[in-house]
Structure 1
Amino acid sequence: MHFGDSIFWRLLPLVHAGVFGATAVLGRIWIARTNRHDAVSFSREQSARDFVARCFYFWLPVIDGLFLAFYGLTGERGSVIANLLDNEFIRWIGVACMAIALIWVVCSQAAMGSAWRMGVDSRTPTELITKGPFALSRNPIYLGIRATILGQLLIVGSWPVFAIWAMSELLVQVQVRFEEEHMFRLHAQRYAEYCARVRRWL
């Protein structure tokens, strides 16, 4: 039996995705509502910015969640990319990626406080956060999401998860640039100076 066929490895990515969604997304939306601001800042409009945000924040998690549920229930994960990914050591690296990413994202969202949004909020000015994880990365939450999907890829190791990872990498790169353009408009020279000090990722 391959490591990927055991109940532990089948259910771990699904359980992590549930915990990640509950703590890093639903919890923050609830906190935002108690602070009386709109945490979801993209709409059903047809602009490229809103389309990318919908794909990244809604469709990507739905597809990822459905696949992880299917894999967890059936053990079917599709063809493995390479034998290298079908061993326990690589999977434990994936576990470390996901665990560190969850803690990192929660700390990053705590540092954002009421400035946290999903998407670009052009209606409500937000402060420029430069402390905590933001002193190391301009986009620590997105960095944590990237590490999470990478962890899934290392654990499952199959072509469907590789496709999800590739799509998430494309979407996050575009989404980050939309948000950075907004921050330049909002904070001008302060944000330019921040960009000179801190890298986009690490």
Structure 2
Amino acid sequence: MQRYLAVLTILLLLGMVCVRLLLMQRSGIKAMKFGEIDKKDFLIPPFALFYFYLIFAAAFHLPTVSRQQFFESRIASWIGVLLCLAGLMLLLLSLISFGQSFRVGIDPDQPDKLITTGVFAFIRNPIYVAFGLVLLGQFLVFPSWIFLVYLFAGIWLFHRQVAREEEFLRMRYGEIYEEYCDRVRRYL
């Protein structure tokens, strides 16, 4: 059951982001800016697609890299499901709080306003925290070395992107952003 819920988490996560992108596109806003500033980002989607395949492979017993697990624990697996659900809820709250300012990547042309309300009043980067919770939850459901590697790689990539975005936000909003940083934590 937990394995199927982990797959559902990935589908819902992708669905929420894709629906938001489509809705914004219908409003005339190009929200997909990923890879436009740093061309090396083109390396990320193949690894993400492979990750999605690994989730499906682990849940539905498809061919995979390894079936070796660090541990077998129903409790850890259910905690993983709860972390995935918490990540989905945080992502949903983030998308709602973002409103029309949502972008995938940095948009130097039409950056919109700085969002400091809703979930952003408590966490400066709730979407990355949400993704991190999902990755951690997925690892607890599928406790293998490959999911552990993806967990650490994902956290590193999220932090790298946060640093880029914060640099842009400092340049764009100046003192207003600095005051926001003083009030609200980067992650948790």
Residue 59 in 1 paired to residue 51 in 2?
A: no
Contact 1:130 1:194 in 2 (8 A): yes
Match of 1:13 among 6, 27, 40: 6
Q: If the length of structure 2 is used for normalisation, what is the TM-score?
A: 0.92
Residue 36 in 1 paired to residue 22 in 2?
A: no
Residue 178 in 1 paired to residue 164 in 2?
A: yes
Q: If the length of structure 1 is used for normalisation, what is the TM-score?
A: 0.86
**Counterpart residue type for residue 26 of structure 2:** T
Aligned residue in 2 for 1:22: 15
- CA RMSD of superposed structures (Å): 1.7
Gaps of 5+ in 2: none
Aligned with 2:123: secondary structure? coil
CA deviation map 1:59-97 (0-9, x unaligned): 34312101012112216652212x3xx111111111111
Paired residues in the alignment total 186
4+ long deviations beyond 6 Å: none
Aligned with 1:66: secondary structure? helix
Match of 1:192 among 153, 178, 182: 178
For 2:148 and 2:84, the matched residues in 1 are separated by: 16
Gaps of 5+ in 1: 1-7
Aligned residue in 1 for 2:97: 111
What's the offset of the Cα at 1:9? 3.3
Percent identity over the alignment? 27
For 2:54 and 2:179, the matched residues in 1 are separated by: 42
What's the offset of the Cα at 1:55? 4.4
Q: Aligned ranges for residues 29-178 of structure 1 at < 5 Å?
A: 29-43=21-35, 49-52=38-41, 54-56=42-44, 58-74=45-61, 78-81=67-70, 83=71, 86-178=72-164
For 1:116 and 1:17, the matched residues in 2 are separated by: 20
Contact 2:2 2:78 in 1 (8 A): no
What's the offset of the Cα at 1:19? 1.4
For 2:43 and 2:136, the matched residues in 1 are separated by: 18
